[in-house]
Amino acid sequence: MAQIFSPRATTIAVIVLVALVSVPVVLIAYIYQVHSSPYATHVGIPVAQPIPFSHAHHVGDVGLDCRYCHTGVETSAFAGLPPTSTCMTCHSQLWTNAAMLAPVRESLAKGKPIRWNRVHDLPDYVYFDHSVHIANGVGCSSCHGDVSKMPLTRKVKPLTMGWCLSCHENPAPHLRPQAEIFNPHWKPGPDHEKEGRMLMAHYGIDKDHLTDCSVCHR
């Protein structure tokens, strides 16, 4: 009787058997990589805005405090976006004819707020609160990066649940003294491990319940 298979069939059989195990593993690893890549998280990709607002200029060059525009950050869940009148505290005098600022003047004239596009947008089932983070030693730049070096605003952190939890599980390395909260250039010092422990005690942070579901979800 003639052979059913050629000698090549053995190779094919081995490849199929190996693929049965390796393909699902590789596939899962690939999907995980895609989900944590900037393709899915948009980290480092500037968002188009109606006016090319530069944090690098306003924070880095001019030296404005974060709270000058984001007034609600210490007291409410939402940090707040400035009304057009805040822009006009300077721009009613400076660059009054600049073409770039035409939408600002139009907004003031018509009484319609500028429609900025969100850079940091969490899902609706996440009840993030800015004030509690500010009050407990998490500075702006810990999540938003050093905006004083951003001509156009972009995300620097993935904002995935895993990223949130990485700090909620071990907050100490990310805490800073109260005076440094709004410092965009702050970096942890060489003996931050000790300082972090002291700050945990200072802010009275209880790590045990920071990862409960209801801390962020309701």
Partner 1 sequence: MSRSLHDATRNSFPERAERLTRVESEAAVDVLVTAPLLDRRSWRRWWIGVAVATLLTLVFVGAIAMILGKGIGVLGNNTSIVWGYPIANYVWWIGIGNAGTLISSLLLLTHQRWRAAINRFAEAMTLMAVAIAGLFPILHMGRPEYFYWLAPYPNVMHLWPQWRSALVWDFWAILSYLLFSIVFWYTGLIPDLATLRDRTLGRAGQLFYGALSLGWRNSARHWYAYEKYYKAMAALAVPLVCSVHSIVGLDFAAGMMPGWQEPIFPPYFVVGAMFSGFAMVVVLAALVRWGLKLEALVTMNHFDAMAKLMVMGATIMGLSYAAEWFSGWYSGRHADHSLLAFEFVGHYAPMYWAMLFCNVMACQIFWFRWARRNMAVLIVVAILVNIGMWLERILIVWNTLAHAYLPSMWSLFAPTIWDWAVTLGSLGFFALMYLIFVRVFPAISMHEVKQLVHEEVAA
Residues in touch with partner 1 (CB under 8 A): 4-5, 9-10, 13, 28-29, 32, 35-36, 41, 158, 160-163, 165-166
Nearer to partner 1 (CB atom), residue 115 or residue 209: 209
Rg over CA atoms, the chain: 25
Quick check: helix, strand or coil at residue 64? coil
Nearer to partner 1 (CB atom), residue 87 or residue 164: 164
Residue 159 sits at the vertex; the CA angle it makes with 210 and 138, to the nearest 5 degrees, is: 50
Nearest approach, Cβ of residue 155 and partner 1 (Å): 14
Residues 41 and 160 sit within 8 Å (Cβ to Cβ): yes
Write down how long the chain is.
218
Residues 203 and 181 sit within 8 Å (Cβ to Cβ): no
Nearest approach, Cβ of residue 118 and partner 1 (Å): 20
Nearest approach, Cβ of residue 49 and partner 1 (Å): 27
Compute the Cα dihedral for 119, 120, 125, 128 and give only its sign.
Answer: negative
Nearest approach, Cβ of residue 169 and partner 1 (Å): 8
Distance of CA 109 to the CA centre of its chain: 33
Q: Which residue intervals of 111-212 are DSSP H helices?
A: 130-135, 140-144, 161-169, 192-203
Distance CA 93, CA 97 (A): 10
Nearer to partner 1 (CB atom), residue 100 or residue 165: 165
Nearer to partner 1 (CB atom), residue 88 or residue 161: 161
Give residues with Cβ within 8 angstroms of 176, minimum separation 6: 137, 138, 139, 142, 183, 186, 188, 199
Nearest approach, Cβ of residue 62 and partner 1 (Å): 37
Nearest approach, Cβ of residue 216 and partner 1 (Å): 11
Nearer to partner 1 (CB atom), residue 87 or residue 143: 143
Nearer to partner 1 (CB atom), residue 36 or residue 71: 36
